[in-house]
Amino acid sequence: MEKDIIEVPYTWEIPFKYTAGEVLTKFFYELKEKRIMGIRCPKCKRVLLPPRGFCEMCFEPLEEWVEVSDEGVIGAFQICCMKFLGAPEPPWASGLIRLDGADTAILHFIGGIDLSDIEKGKEAIKIGTRVKAVWSDAPKGLITDIRYFTPV
């Protein structure tokens, strides 16, 4: 008789810490004050968001901070309709958003719209839609201090 193959279950629960470093620490302190800061590369002149300590393309260290708007344009989006471990209850949406004054896009949730009908939802947040940050009332210095972006 064929026996069932034995399986041993295991769950990883290991506390980690990630060092933000000087650049991201400044970014998140500013975010707490509802200011979104990008960083400009002296060589390619792009304002990078998320900010970083160096430009990978030009291989230059970065230090020129530039405040960008909390409004911008959706460059790509998705509407998630399935349940993932650790993700919000579906349906939920996220997108790549290029904020006014930045040359690169950030990933964030898109909210404040009815997603129960995908056809309507995808029209409401289609590429090119202008969106604005909706801020948390209790900012913690995390990217989720912006709760989501919503169509203007």
Partner 1 sequence: MSRVAIVGVGHTVYSDPGSLKEPYWKLDFEAASAALDDAGMTKGDIDAVITASYDLYDGIVISAQFSAGAACSWWKDGTNLAEDGAFAIPSAYMKIRSGMYDTVMVVSHGTIHSHDVIMKSSNIACDPFFFRPIASNNLVLNALQASRYKDIYGISEEYAARISVMEHGNAMKNPHAHIKTEVSIAEVLNSPVLCWPIRALEYCPASSGASAIILATEELASWRATSKKIAYVKGIGWASETYQIGNNGSLDKIASTVKAANMAYEMAGIKNPTEEIDVAEIAGVTPYQELMLLEALGFCDFGKAISLVEEGVTAIDGKLPVNPSGGLICTNPVGGAGLFSVAEAAMQVMGMAEGHQIEAANVALAHGMSNVCGPAARASCVVIMESEK
Residues that bind partner 1 (CB under 8 A): 5, 10, 12, 18, 20, 24, 28, 46, 49-50, 56-57, 75-82, 84-88, 92, 94-96, 98, 103-109, 118, 121-122, 126-127, 142-144
Q: Please state, in angstroms and rounded to a whole number, the distance separating the CA atoms of residues 96 and 74.
A: 6
Instruction: Give the shortest CB-123-to-partner 1 separation in angstroms.
Output: 11
**Nearer residue to partner 1 within complex by CB, 50 or 139:** 50
CB of 48 to partner 1, least distance (A): 8
User: Smallest gap, in angstroms, from Cβ of residue 151 to partner 1?
Assistant: 16
Nearer to partner 1, 69 or 144 (CB): 144
Burial 116-135 (b: 16+ CB within 10 A, else e): eeeeebeebbeeebebbbee
